[in-house]
Each structure stands twice: as C-alpha cells, then as structure tokens.
Structure 1
Amino acid sequence: MTSPISSYIMYVKVGPKKDPQGYYVAVTTRDVFERYVRDRFAPPNIVIEEVGGEVFIKSKSRSVLKKLIKFLASKGVTVIGSI
C-alpha cells in the first residue's frame, strides 16, 4: 500500500538497468500516468502494469523511456534516478 503523502507528490522513478525480462522500467503514480502518459505513449512501444497506486511503465527501448522521462520532467514531474 502506498503512503498517503505519495499520492500528492508527482514523481517518476527510473533506473539505468534492465529488469530480468529485458525491459527498462519507470514507476510513477496513477495520477501522473492518467494525466500525462496514457494518451501520449501507447503500446506497442511500452507495457503498462498497474499495481495498487503505482503504475509500472516498461519498454525494451531505452530511447522511448528517455523521451517519456524528458516529457514528464518538462511538465514538472519530479524525476528520481536516471536512465
């Protein structure tokens, strides 16, 4: 379960390494996903997994995820980590 404070903070967490299936992963809140990502970044370039209050955004392409991160940063979303 996510903490109540995390639902008010707009953030995206990223890491430089791939997961075991070969995807680069970004984790964000459902609010950020609904507001900025859902209509602009769509499959087949990304895989979306919603778990609780967080959304995992996965891509085999590092450049696709970098574009997403840059876009979110330009909208004022706090980026935690780097890719």
Structure 2
Amino acid sequence: MSTYEENESKFLRKAKENPFVPVGMAGFCAIVGYGLYKMKSRGDTKMSVHLIHMRVAAQGFVVGAMTVGVLYSMYKDYFSKSAEEKK
C-alpha cells in the first residue's frame, strides 16, 4: 500500500470519527476565499483591518465547529450510552 493511499484512508477514518473537523476546515477555506474576493471592494478600510476581521471570522468559525464537535462527542459518549443502558 502506498503512502498516499494510507494517508487518504487515515483522513477518511478520522473524518468519520470527528465529522466536524472537515466542516471546520471547509468553513475556514470558505471564509478565507470570501475575504480574498471582498478585498477589492473593501472601500477605504485599511488592508490590515480587513485582514484582521477575516482572520477573526475564520478562527471563530473553526472554534465554533470544534466546540460543536466536542459537544456532539460528549453527547454520543455519555448521554446516548446511558439511555441505552436504561433500556
């Protein structure tokens, strides 16, 4: 098995375990793309302020996706198992 196939299967396996990681990565890329697109029409806003706003938006999205992922994982590990044990 080549290294490329091994890395690909590892990424897919990790994405199945933590589905919000790819969501966070996709959101980050989307916000960065949107920021680059809007860079032309930023008006009289300084470049540094525009970049700081885009960085904060991208980081906020990633942190939000990670938080939702952790909450989902906690729910799946603790609450859904206890409901199954009660049955």
Q: Which has the larger radius of gyration?
A: 2
Q: Which has the higher strand share?
A: 1
Q: Which has the higher helix share?
A: 2
TM-score, normalising length: structure 2: 0.30
TM-score, normalising length: structure 1: 0.31
